């Protein structure tokens, strides 16, 4: 590489996106909000239109040695639905583009699509377009999801206010622990040299399912609407809680405190972390791929939130000068750093 | 490959898409038209919303040995705009997803985006989202374009009626001839072993530009609107005139006759075909990547069409039982077959 060239890893994924998109001022009246949230917001009439897109590449985002194609199709669709729910919207349509190398057969692609179809059925979403082509290497899946939301009711990352409560749905870290288990069993299988090797997932079905077949939290969005709770900021947990908290703090111009002992963690996640000798809280903070909803609500909604099943209050929003920190069990403050998965670096950022 | 598995090439691109998308009935009121045209049509208010998407893979859709990254970015955006114009709409927003291998630097991606930005500026389109990630091999570009059209004014492939006139904008075959020239010069350069080899494009600038920097025919859409001409069917010429004529015939349930001596061909295209000893009319019929507009209009619009610059009447729509054929210079009829580029077969279909 010559001296005038810059390696992409020096910028990281978010740095690269910032650099690439900063010189694109919005020109059309229908473009309300562009790059920088879970989805763009467009104005085309009675409702606002939401658009989000994801690119999944074999060897980077999935490994077909332990991800069945049907599960991959399901997950590829659901993670896009999750981005639309994270804007307080409803997913309506998807387009699916595939690049397929010659080692894939029609039956393989049928399996992938059966997963996409199942996700579309469950979430009430229509497949409306796409593009299919050969690929010289591996499988490429690009999905764009379009949704709608009542006019001006989209919830962004930028609306959190000091004293707001920080809430998260479900539990965290399970998808990441599921991945660790899948990778371990795959390694054991390879080393055993036994073609009929059966991985041992007994008692760990939940973390496997969280990795292979995540769900988007439509139920949480519906419950919040029913209870008349409108989050001030919201996003889904795809890169990890630490990374998402920092996004909300940066975009809202605030700080935050989250309590170590409030982070919701499933029993199976804890057992697996113990087995693998990994720090459980770090796993829950940085694991990613949970697709839970992280959101902030005004303090006045505290009683309503306490009554909700499957929602944990994990902390509160502060003034920006206090920064973002986790309050440990002993009362100490540990600064939150982005340790989310970064596809452009082989090592975790520090 | 075991006996129960089917190679994708046995279905071809369109066969595979048909198979994959047939079991997706539309469920949402906002999904007006799904898979099968240049773009999907969604209903979200005063206007109809159009969505189209394209996936471009290195080694399949482009070769960076002779396509500069800025040109690639420009073309990747413009071909999506072309799909929206081909629905009689106006492109408004795009999302851009990139997969980038480690051999690309920040400066490379800047160059790619500078082309995307130029296209967005010229066509008045906003970049509103995307996804950027590492790739284990080569460059992947997935672009989704959203546009709008007056309610119920979208033009589909399915509206052609017997006696309609068949029209095409600009000229055909130049982009394909440009590609042949680029490939030839690249081969000569490689064989010369001379690092400073300069390709000889003198007098062939037009066909090079048609390949590297195609334009979407916004001007034609605006001209038709101004003259009060509403096409009965329309699509853009991406795979080749033969392939697109067959799409319109199939979707409209009609046949067609086009006249060999009416196919618009540029002088440089003809010279290049001569040099390479290729059949000129076959090149124009099957070349692809011209991004001209192919459309049909009622016979009563004949005089209006004759007055338009840059639009050729090449034939007429017939009853379905007459099939699709080209009328040769000697008056004979040659059946039209799809010989467009098919990414799933190494040889041309026959």
Burial A197-210 (b: 16+ CB within 10 A, else e): eeeeeeebebbbbb
Q: What is the pLDDT of residue B350?
A: 30
Q: Which residue has the higher pLDDT, A296 or A343?
A: A296
Q: Does A150 touch chain B (CB under 8 A)?
A: no
Q: CA-to-CA distance for A72 and A111, rounded, in angstroms?
A: 9
**N-terminal to C-terminal alpha carbon distance within chain B:** 26
* Sign of the C-alpha dihedral computed for residues A263, A269, A273 and A275 taken in this order: positive
Q: What is the pLDDT of residue A23?
A: 78
Q: What is the pLDDT of residue B347?
A: 36
Q: What is the pLDDT of residue A322?
A: 97
Q: CA-to-CA distance for A234 and A236, rounded, in angstroms?
A: 7
Q: What is the pLDDT of residue A243?
A: 94
Q: How confident is the model at residue A118 (pLDDT cuts 50, 70, 90)?
A: very high
In order along its 350 residues, chain B shows pLDDT tens digits of: 456 788 888 887 778 888 888 878 898 888 988 888 888 989 888 889 999 999 999 999 999 988 999 999 999 999 999 999 999 999 999 999 999 998 999 999 999 999 999 999 999 999 999 888 889 889 999 999 999 999 999 999 999 999 999 999 999 999 999 999 999 998 888 888 887 888 888 899 999 999 999 999 999 999 999 999 999 999 999 999 999 999 999 999 999 999 999 999 999 999 999 999 999 999 999 999 999 999 999 999 999 999 999 999 999 999 999 999 999 999 999 999 876 444 454 333 33
Q: What is the CA radius of gyration of chain A?
A: 20
pLDDT tens digits, one per residue of A264-309? 999 999 999 999 999 999 999 999 999 999 999 999 999 999 999 9
Alpha helices in B193-293 (DSSP H): 205-212, 218-226, 241-252, 267-275, 280-286
Contact assignment for B53 to A98 by CB distance below 8 Å: no
pLDDT tens digits, one per residue of A147-193? 999 999 999 999 999 999 999 999 999 999 999 999 999 888 888 88
Contact assignment for A138 to B136 by CB distance below 8 Å: yes
Residue where the block lists tokens 């595979």: B16
Q: CA-to-CA distance for A106 and A73, rounded, in angstroms?
A: 14
Determine the average pLDDT of the residues in A325-333: 96
Closest-CA residue of chain A to B142: A142
Per DSSP, the three-state class of B298 is coil
Determine the average pLDDT of the residues in A323-348: 75
Nearest to A28 by CA among A49, A42, A40: A42
Say whether pLDDT at A62 is over 60. Answer: yes
The H or E element containing residue A80 is helix A69-85
Residues found in chain A: 350
- What does pTM read for this prediction? 0.92
A197 Cα distance to chain centroid: 32
* Sign of the C-alpha dihedral computed for residues B159, B162, B164 and B168 taken in this order: positive
Q: Does A259 touch chain B (CB under 8 A)?
A: no
Contact A77, A223 (CB under 8 A): no
Nearest to A168 by CA among A86, A264, A243, A88: A264
Say whether pLDDT at A222 is over 50. Answer: yes
The H or E element containing residue B129 is strand B126-134
Q: What is the pLDDT of residue B33?
A: 86
Per DSSP, the three-state class of B155 is coil
Tokens of residue A170, six digits: 């479900």
Give residues 225 to 254 of A whose Cβ lies within 8 Å of B: none
User: Could you tell me which residues are beta bridge partners of residue B294?
Assistant: B168, B235
Q: What is the pLDDT of residue A346?
A: 39
Contact assignment for B132 to A34 by CB distance below 8 Å: no
Q: CA-to-CA distance for B152 and B46, rounded, in angstroms?
A: 10
How many CA atoms within 13 Å lie on the side-chain side of B98? 27
Cα angle, residue A86 at apex, residues A82 and A91 outer, rounded to 5°: 55
**Mean confidence (pLDDT) of chain A:** 91
Q: CA-to-CA distance for B274 and B287, rounded, in angstroms?
A: 15
Say whether pLDDT at A348 is over 60. Answer: no
Nearest to B171 by CA among B336, B276, B292, B79: B292
Say whether pLDDT at A341 is over 90. Answer: no
Q: What is the pLDDT of residue A343?
A: 46
Per DSSP, the three-state class of A94 is strand
Tokens of residue A141, six digits: 């899946």
Q: What is the pLDDT of residue B32?
A: 87
State whether ipTM is beyond 0.95: no
CA dist list (Å): B198 to A169, A191, A286: 61, 53, 52
Q: How confident is the model at residue A195 (pLDDT cuts 50, 70, 90)?
A: confident
Helix B69-85 to helix B106-123 angle (10° resolution) is 30
Per DSSP, the three-state class of B332 is coil
Contact assignment for A51 to B144 by CB distance below 8 Å: yes
Which of B47, B60, B133 to mutate to test binding with chain A, by most A CBs within 10 Å of its CB? B133
Which of A86, A144, A239, A341 to mutate to test binding with chain B, by most B CBs within 10 Å of its CB? A144
Q: What is the pLDDT of residue A19?
A: 85
């Amino acid at each position: 590489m010559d001296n005038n060239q810059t390696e992409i890893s020096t910028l990281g994924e978010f740095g690269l996106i910032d650099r690439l998109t900063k010189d694109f001022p919005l020109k059309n009246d229908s473009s309300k909000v562009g790059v920088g949230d879970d989805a763009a917001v467009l104005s085309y009439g009675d409702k606002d239109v939401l658009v989000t897109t994801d690119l999944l590449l074999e060897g980077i985002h999935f490994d077909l040695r332990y991800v069945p194609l049907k599960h991959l199709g399901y997950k590829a669709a659901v993670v896009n639905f999750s981005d639309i729910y994270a804007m307080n919207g409803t997913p309506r349509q998807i387009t699916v583009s595939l690049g397929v190398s010659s080692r894939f057969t029609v039956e393989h692609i049928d399996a992938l699509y059966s997963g996409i179809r199942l996700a579309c059925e469950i979430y009430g979403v229509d497949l409306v377009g796409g593009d299919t082509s050969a690929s010289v290497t591996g499988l490429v899946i690009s999905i764009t999801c379009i949704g709608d939301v009542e006019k001006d009711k989209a919830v962004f990352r930028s609306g959190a206010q000091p004293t707001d409560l920080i809430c998260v749905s479900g539990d965290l870290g399970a998808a990441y622990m599921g991945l660790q288990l899948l990778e371990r069993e795959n390694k054991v299988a390879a080393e055993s040299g036994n073609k009929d090797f059966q991985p041992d997932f007994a008692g760990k079905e939940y973390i496997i399912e969280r990795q292979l077949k995540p769900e988007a939290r439509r139920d949480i969005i519906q419950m919040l609407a029913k209870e008349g709770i409108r989050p001030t900021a919201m996003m889904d947990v795809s890169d990890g809680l630490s990374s998402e908290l920092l996004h909300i703090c940066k975009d809202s111009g605030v700080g935050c405190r989250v309590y170590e002992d409030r982070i919701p963690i499933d029993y199976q996640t804890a057992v697996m972390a113990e087995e693998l000798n990994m720090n459980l809280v770090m796993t829950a903070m940085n694991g990613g791929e949970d697709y839970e909803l992280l959101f902030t609500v005004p303090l006045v909604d505290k009683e309503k939130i306490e009554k909700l099943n499957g929602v944990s209050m994990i902390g509160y929003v502060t003034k920006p000068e206090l920064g973002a920190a986790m309050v440990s069990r002993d009362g100490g403050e540990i600064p939150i750093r982005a340790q989310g998965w970064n596809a452009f670096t082989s090592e975790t950022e520090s």
